[in-house]
Structure 1
Amino acid sequence: MFIGHFAAGFAGKAVAPKASLGTMFLAAQFLDLLWPTLLLLNLEHATVAPAPGKFTPLDFTHYPISHSLLLVLGWGLLFGLVYWLLRKDTRTALVLGLLVVSHWFLDLVVHVPDLPLWPGNSPMVGLGLWNSMPGTLLVEGLLFAGGLWLYLRAKAAAKTTTYALWALVAFLVLVYIANVFGPPPTDITAVAWAGQLQWILVLWAYWADRKLANTALTPGTI
């Protein structure tokens, strides 16, 4: 799942507007920002294995640090705690922690059974929506539209949007389409480095939300 996680970030901003959209994106995609670094460090593993009818060309063979449920709960707790220590905002800290954890449950819907419950000898789970290309596109598309709608509805009092926001939305959709219908990656190292580019999306969200905050007088600083 890709834009479904960003949908969660948009929705989180609607629930806890004091934090920036960039922080919401950071929480919602935290696991997939951690994962490529662990790949580069050879602490987690995946392989490129495209096949006809397969939604993703990747096989996720070993990623207990970033994607086991037990450690994901820990990452969510840590993320929320760090934010609370910085801002003393319990509501937003809770939302951010839940966004981190939401990533695993959204992945649970689409992944084939490759998500561990805990590091080590764990059962692997996944509901396998990725086995259906139309189903995956429909679910992710609806999630993205719903999350964006919640975000825009929360901003409705400003009666304004910015080119920065709509450019971000368009870019997310284009990246998603390219990932789905483009050629498979050459190797897993290329995947890991491409994954690091997601930081640009987080920074872009900080910028877009700040531009909107400046016009709407809406909190959106960290």
Structure 2
Amino acid sequence: MFIGHFGLGFAAKAVAPRTSLGSLFLASEFLDLLWPVLMILGIEGVMILPSVNAVIPLVFTNFPFSHSLAFVVIWSFLFAVFIFVLRQDWRSSVVMGLLVASHWLLDALVHAPDLPLFPGSHIRVGLGLWSSYAGTLAVEFGIFFFGLWFYVRASRPDGRKGSYGLGLLVLFLVLIYMASIFGPPPPDVQAIEWTNVALWLFVIWGYWLDRHRPVSSGTVVQ
């Protein structure tokens, strides 16, 4: 899953208005930001196999530290504790922790049964929605635009940067997502690694956008 994670990051702004959109993107995408680093270090791995399913030509051979349920619980807890210590804001800390955990839950919808429960686990889960183009697109775009709707209601542009910045962000996310699905498979694993490292650009974009879209009064979930 890709833009669905960003959709939950958008939506969380309505629940945690004091938290920057960049931080919310960081939490919702944390597992996929950690994953390429572990691959570059040779700790985790992936194979390219175009015939494996309809949507994503990848076989996730080994990712116990970024995508096992046990480590997701650990990462979620650490995120929540770090944010609470840093900001003394229980709402933001809980939301950030839940966003990290939500990544695994959304991935479980689309992945084949390859998400381990813990490192070394022979039990792997995944509902396999990636076997269907229609199902994948419906779920991903549904979550993405649902979250975007919440974000638009919870914030307002303070000028052109706030309006055009959001529009361009949405456009880039959708174009990259569609290219990843309907474009050719990646040429090698290194391309996957550095493409996922580039996700940090959207986190930075979120921090920038947050400066130009202050929270709207009366639209925040209490």
TM-score by length of 2: 0.93
State whether residues 65 and 119 of structure 2, in contact with CA within 8 Å, keep that contact through their aligned partners in structure 1: yes
**CA drift at 1:13:** 1.0
CA distance in 1, matches of 2:14, 2:109: 23
Q: 2:209 is paired with a residue of what secondary structure? A: helix
Give the partner amino acid of 1:62.
N
1:126 matched residue in structure 2: 126
Superposition CA RMSD, Å: 2.1
Matched, 1:166 2:167: yes
CA distance in 2, matches of 1:144, 1:114: 24
Q: 1:59 is paired with a residue of what secondary structure? A: strand
State whether residues 4 and 140 of structure 2, in contact with CA within 8 Å, keep that contact through their aligned partners in structure 1: yes
2:100 matched residue in structure 1: 100
% same residue: 51
**CA drift at 1:155:** 2.0
Q: 1:15 is paired with a residue of what secondary structure? A: coil
Give the partner amino acid of 1:60.
F
State whether residues 76 and 96 of structure 1, in contact with CA within 8 Å, keep that contact through their aligned partners in structure 2: yes
1:13-162 correspondence runs (5 A): 13-51=13-51, 54-155=54-155, 161-162=162-163
State whether residues 156 and 216 of structure 2, in contact with CA within 8 Å, keep that contact through their aligned partners in structure 1: no
CA distance in 2, matches of 1:118, 1:128: 19
CA distance in 1, matches of 2:166, 2:208: 9
**CA drift at 1:54:** 2.0
Structure 1 residues 167 and 181: alpha-carbon distance in aligned structure 2, compared to 1, 3 A threshold: same
Q: 2:127 is paired with a residue of what secondary structure? A: coil
Task: Count matched residues.
Answer: 217
**CA drift at 1:122:** 3.3
1:198 matched residue in structure 2: 199
Runs of 4+ in 1 over 6 A off after TM superposition: 157-160
Structure 2: tracts of 5 or more residues without a match = 218-222
TM-score by length of 1: 0.93
Q: 1:71 is paired with a residue of what secondary structure? A: helix
CA distance in 2, matches of 1:190, 1:156: 37
CA distance in 2, matches of 1:179, 1:197: 14
State whether residues 4 and 143 of structure 1, in contact with CA within 8 Å, keep that contact through their aligned partners in structure 2: yes
CA distance in 2, matches of 1:159, 1:192: 36
2:220 matched residue in structure 1: none
State whether residues 25 and 202 of structure 1, in contact with CA within 8 Å, keep that contact through their aligned partners in structure 2: yes
Give the partner amino acid of 1:81.
V
- 1:162-197 per-residue CA deviation (whole Å, 9 max, x = no partner) reads 211111111111110111111110111110011100
- 1:120-157 per-residue CA deviation (whole Å, 9 max, x = no partner) reads 13301000101111110011011111000011111269
Structure 1: tracts of 5 or more residues without a match = 218-222
Give the partner amino acid of 2:38.
L
State whether residues 154 and 216 of structure 2, in contact with CA within 8 Å, keep that contact through their aligned partners in structure 1: no
Q: 1:107 is paired with a residue of what secondary structure? A: helix
CA distance in 2, matches of 1:51, 1:133: 14
Structure 1 residues 65 and 96: alpha-carbon distance in aligned structure 2, compared to 1, 3 A threshold: same
